[in-house]
Amino acid sequence: MLKMSGVFGLLLALSAPFLQAQSGQVPKQAIDITAAEIKEVQKTEPPKTDQQLKIADMGKYNLGVGVIHRGPTKDNEPLTGFSHDQTGETYIILSGSGTLVTGGTMVDPKPIAKDSEAYQVLNGPTEAGGVRGGYRRKVGPGDVIIIPQGVFHGWAEIKDHIDYLSVRPDPDKILPAGYVNPTIRK
């Protein structure tokens, strides 16, 4: 099992410096996302499901890191989820458990609104809808899942909750470099 210090080490290795302007140059310094900052963002009222922590200009691409909370799913509820056109995600499970479904064929996909926070700050162009088929697996703390762009992903069988970090490479620089969640902006 991956310990919290290992999670943050992995996060820092993946993310390097944040808060760089859209310069196209590789940053010269690492930027931290502390456990305290993550907890502070998670306390936002009213609670939000998906919150971007920071977005960095990494030179050739932008990189976002978000924290996500999902509450219990309902039994016999149709499975829904998302597919992001231009950004992939790496999930690092922090607490809780559930069944993650990836792949398959999206059913009745609908684009999210361009003026939504999800489009502008989290993942860029995205479709939401149901799924037919897909790969199901139970995940819990310490698990890491890499979801390529264009791959459906949705949750089922969450009994209590699942909290996870999402590392979001953005090769087309559609997400705003230098973004810092207002809760932790200094």
Query: What pLDDT is attached to residue 4?
Result: 53
pLDDT digits (tens, 9 = 90+) for 16-30: 444 334 556 778 889
Query: What pLDDT is attached to residue 5?
Result: 53
The Cα 90–Cα 30 span in angstroms is 19
Any idea which residue has 């943050």 for tokens?
8
Q: Supply the pTM of this predicted model.
A: 0.85
pLDDT band at 117 (very low <50, low <70, confident <90, very high): very high
- Chain mean pLDDT for the chain: 89
State the Cα torsion 165-72-40-51 to the nearest 10°.
50
% residues pLDDT > 70 (the chain): 87
More confident residue, 85 or 20: 85
Q: Which residues contact 72 (CB under 8 A, 6 or more apart)?
A: 158, 159, 160, 161
pLDDT value at 106 more than 60: yes
Structural domains of the chain in order of their starting residue, each with its CATH number:
4-170 (2.60.120.10)
- Which amino acid appears at position 136 of this protein? R
Among residues 139, 164, 155, the alpha carbon closest in space to that of 77 is found at: 155
Compute the average pLDDT of residues 99-109.
Answer: 97
Query: What pLDDT is attached to residue 13?
Result: 45
Query: What pLDDT is attached to residue 7?
Result: 53
More confident residue, 76 or 11: 76
pLDDT band at 33 (very low <50, low <70, confident <90, very high): very high
Look at 2-11, 136-145, 166-175 and tell me which has the smallest mean pLDDT.
Answer: 2-11
∠ CA 93-98-101, rounded to 5°: 95
Q: Which residues contact 6 (CB under 8 A, 6 or more apart)?
A: none
Query: What pLDDT is attached to residue 23?
Result: 59
